[in-house]
A and B are shown apart, each in its own frame.
Chain A
Amino acid sequence: MSTPLPIAPLVCWSCHERTIGTHFCSSCGKIQQVPEHSDYFAMFDLPRKLWVDMGMLEQKFLQLSWKLHPDNFTNATPEERAISLRRSSELNDAHRTLRDPVARVEYLLAIEGARVEGKNKQQAPPELLEEVFELNESLDELREAKASGGDTAALKQSLGTAEKNFQGKLAEVDSELQGVAKEWDKAMDAKADAAARKGVMAQLNELLNRRSYVRNLVVNVQKELA
């Protein structure tokens, strides 16, 4: 990793000829560094849209794996080995991110500069405030009962119900997220202006924050119930 890697999007680092190949030099065939300003979508020749054809993604992933995997470069120069390691790790990172619908939205917002995490992750969205308050109380009671060796059966049951309730909310957020994702794709197809796109991204961002909040709640409850 310490090998310095020259970054040259259009000129091959090895033969110094101009190259039109994205992965391999069109002139000498050596593996090429990822061009600057590339992103996971570009890596798979995908537009920055949120609906992804999974079959295509998998196929492309396997094709690129054949070419970029370090197994191809055991007997190559240290530079080529380092580039292959970096390229194939980026390919795997991209594949891992894009195949997960939530990670995909996170990533899109990040590269669009529109991902703003909630100022306070502990802060409940206003519409959930009351239920969260109750949930936290039940959780406290359960912890106390556990500590003092008291009866936990009833508490566990009510928490179980609460968990299902929040699971339902998580599903709601996910379906909302899907809906807004479709809007994003429409805006992209319609070549909507920056302001319109920004509006959709703000909604996506808000939903991601809500999702992570609700998900944390569910995980916490599951931990106490386990």
Chain B
Amino acid sequence: MGRIVGIDLGTTNSLVAYVDAQTAQPKCIPGPLGRTLCPSVVSLDADGSIIVGEPAQRRLLTQPERSIYSVKRLMGRGPADVQAELKLFPFRVDPSSQNIIRVQLGEKIFAPPEISSFILRELKNWAEAYFGETVDRAVITVPAYFNDAQRQATKDAGKLAGLEVLRLVNEPTAAALAYGLHEKQRGTVAVYDLGGGTFDISVLKLISTNEGDIFQVLSTNGDTHLGGDDIDHLLQAFVHEQILQKDQIDFSPHGELAQELRKELIVVKHKLSETDKVLLRFALPNGRVFEHEFTRGSFEALIRPVVDRTMAPVRQALEDAQLSPKQIDEVVLVGGTTRTPVIRRTVEEYFGRKPHTELNPDEVVALGAAVQANILDRGVENMLLLDVTPLSLGIETYGGAVAKIIPRNSTIPASAQELYTTGVDNQTGIEVHVLQGERELAKDCRSLARFTLRIPPAPAGMPRVEVKFLIDANGILQVAARDVRTEQEHSIEVQPSYGLNDADIERMLEESIEYAEQDFAERQLIEARTDSESILAATAKAMANRRAAELSEPERMKIEQGVAVLKEAVVGSDYKLIRRRVDELNHATEHLAEILMNTAVQTALEGKKLAEV
């Protein structure tokens, strides 16, 4: 088994972290450029290869039609869900998209989990290069308010990246784990997590018991489409309007110009967290330069709607936890967007205490994911995480109403049983529609899945089928059915309403090989075999040299033995063993190399002399 890592698969940036065995502290792993943040940007090169991270980010400007950012917003969503986003994001959605969205990069079409898998694979490569070992398992974080389909899509992305996803952990909970380890906090904690595209609020209780520390989530709420992106859009809309009025230039969101302006505005936004005024100067195609001075005051007024939208979930989460703001002992800020002063102020005013910001808000979620990965790898030793399901699970009943069977904020895993029977004689199927959400009518909730219970013909009311709905520790639904009288398990083919089915995943896995670099171990093996081939060839050649006779008998024996065991190792696939044998043979042939070296030098000198003469 390879190494295990924690991954924060973010809207804007993604990170990978692990727990250092010596210090027992989590640590983010840097990429080849030395930075721990990997921009969540993917680009398809003209030669068909996939580019991820900073190089892809640069291509947003040069090749926007082959590049994509903020794909997390599309995970587990249907085309109807994202109409509003499409006006704001340069996503090129394939018009034939049905249940799940497919986007176009250049000439190819991808599902959002495939694009996310490219980011995950990049991070996997970072970690493998860092460890010099295979990484095959991961804990991946998701927004706490992600629904079943969004979680499933994330899990699918992990699978497509060649990772066994041991657990999906909610981002605010992960942050609490990292802080808990860091500060040894106790009591009630509110985690306010405003990232690039998602907002979460979680209320936790940190409990010390004889066995260790328990992180119990009491309630969670949020908005999976609210974040720094929305602030950028407000800024963009404002500037687009200004430019339209003054210069009659219309920005198409797909244009390179719009991307350039977006990049500039993000710089303005970041600067406004540090200074009070920033002047934006932007060259327009008509040769004029657009100028606007943003003050912190005007910026804060502009983004007020985003700040306000976070507060309703905050109030609901506290109400669900049956706590008042005063009863919260600690407040933690997570996510890059919480660097914005107006957000810090608003949160501080609401809770009446200064929020914690000691840990880097960009890294804290990945660090927490690494902590959870370590717990899963080693077994619960001194920390246990009890999380909740963010949304109520329901089933459609007569008349399109929803009967809630697992209420929101139930500790997971959680389950509920429903008994089904037939209404008419010889009815052979019962339709079951599973939903997630708080609304009363099925049409207002999120459809998770539909399936038909197959019933052997019998008089009405006779069959008794118990369906068990179970939300696992990842927050993902599992369904099983059992005939109560015969005790027989029914198999159910659950068709996800918004997600990839098994056939999709199979096909994508096959295709992913096309993009994937070779597996780390395979790559290592090939390199080790190449190395051994060259040393075996060199040794054979050297031993054939007449001056090899200068070797002592033990030396000769040692070399011959080294050659034999290396040849043996090369047949196998243990690259570490091959490497060791290569090293041993290198060592054994040191003297031989010296002898030949001297010969070579002498020959060279002699040759020179001869030539000179």
Contact = CB atoms under 8 A, between A and B. Distances in A.
Contacts of A96: 407, 410-411, 414
Contacts of A88: 413, 473
Given A1-B468, A70-B413, 18 more contacts: A1-B479, A2-B489, A4-B489, A62-B209, A63-B209, A66-B209, A66-B214, A71-B167, A71-B380, A72-B379, A72-B380, A75-B379, A85-B472, A88-B473, A92-B410, A92-B413, A93-B415, A96-B411
B470 interface: yes
Interface string A104-146: 0000000000000000000000000000000000000000000
A65 interface: yes
A71 B473 contact: yes
Contacts of A185: none
B211 A66 contact: yes
A26 interface: no
Interface string A65-97: 110011110110000000001101110110110
Interface in B377-413: 377, 379-380, 384-386, 407, 410-413
Interface residues of B, number: 34
A92 B407 CA distance: 12
A85 B470 contact: yes
Contacts of B489: 2, 4
B416 A93 contact: yes
A64 B416 CA distance: 20
Contact of A1 (B376, B379, B407, B470): B470
Nearest to B383: A71
Nearest to B379: A72
User: Which of A62, A74, A88 is most buried by chain B, counting CB atoms within 10 A of its CB?
Assistant: A74
Given A1-B480, A66-B384, A69-B386, A74 B376 contact: yes
Interface of A: 1-2, 4, 62-63, 65-66, 69-72, 74-75, 85-86, 88-90, 92-93, 95-96
Nearest to A66: B211
Contacts of A86: 415, 470
Contacts of A62: 207, 209, 214, 216
A86 B413 CA distance: 8
A71 B377 contact: no
Interface of B: 166-167, 207, 209, 211-212, 214, 216, 375-377, 379-380, 384-386, 407, 410-416, 468, 470-473, 478-480, 489, 491
Contacts of A63: 209, 211
B413 A74 contact: no
A69 B491 contact: no
Given A62-B209, A85-B413, A93-B414, A70 B470 contact: no
Contacts of B479: 1
Contact of B480 (A2, A65, A69, A75): A2
Contacts of B167: 71, 74
- Minimum-distance CB pairs A-B, first 5: A89-B413, A89-B415, A74-B376, A92-B411, A1-B480
**Residue of B375, B379, B385, B413 ringed by the most chain A CB atoms within 10 A:** B413
B548 to A, nearest CB: 52
Nearest to B491: A2
20 contacts: A2-B480, A4-B489, A63-B209, A65-B214, A65-B386, A66-B209, A66-B211, A69-B473, A70-B413, A70-B472, A71-B379, A71-B384, A72-B379, A74-B167, A86-B470, A89-B412, A89-B415, A92-B414, A95-B411, A96-B411
B454 to A, nearest CB: 16
A85 B377 CA distance: 17
A61 to B, nearest CB: 9
A203 to B, nearest CB: 26
Contacts of B377: 74-75
Nearest to A71: B380
Contacts of B214: 62, 65-66
A93 B212 CA distance: 23
Contacts of B375: 71
B496 to A, nearest CB: 16
Contacts of A65: 214, 384, 386
B478 A1 contact: yes
B145 to A, nearest CB: 20
A74 B473 CA distance: 11
Given A4-B489, A69-B386, A70-B472, A92 B376 contact: no
Nearest to B416: A93
A57 B309 CA distance: 37
Contact of A69 (B209, B384, B416, B478): B384
B180 to A, nearest CB: 15
B1 to A, nearest CB: 9
Contacts of A69: 380, 384, 386, 473
A3 to B, nearest CB: 10
Nearest to A73: B379
A152 B216 CA distance: 45
Nearest to B216: A62
Contact of A66 (B376, B380, B414, B480): B380
A74 B379 contact: yes
Given A2-B489, A62-B214, A71-B380, A92 B412 contact: yes
A89 B380 contact: no
Contacts of B412: 89, 92
A75 B471 CA distance: 20
A90 B489 CA distance: 19
A97 B429 CA distance: 31
A202 B13 CA distance: 60
Contacts of B480: 1-2
Find the residue from A72, A93, A96 having the highest chain B CB count within 10 A. A93
A69 B212 CA distance: 14
Contacts of A4: 489
Contacts of B380: 66, 69, 71-72
Contacts of B166: 74
A70 B416 CA distance: 18
Nearest to A92: B411
Nearest to A89: B413
Residue from the set B167, B375, B377, B411 with the largest chain A CB neighbour count within 10 Å: B411
Nearest to B487: A7
Contacts of B491: 2
Contacts of B413: 70, 85, 88-89, 92
A211 to B, nearest CB: 17
Nearest to B414: A92
B414 A70 contact: no
Contacts of B379: 71-72, 74-75
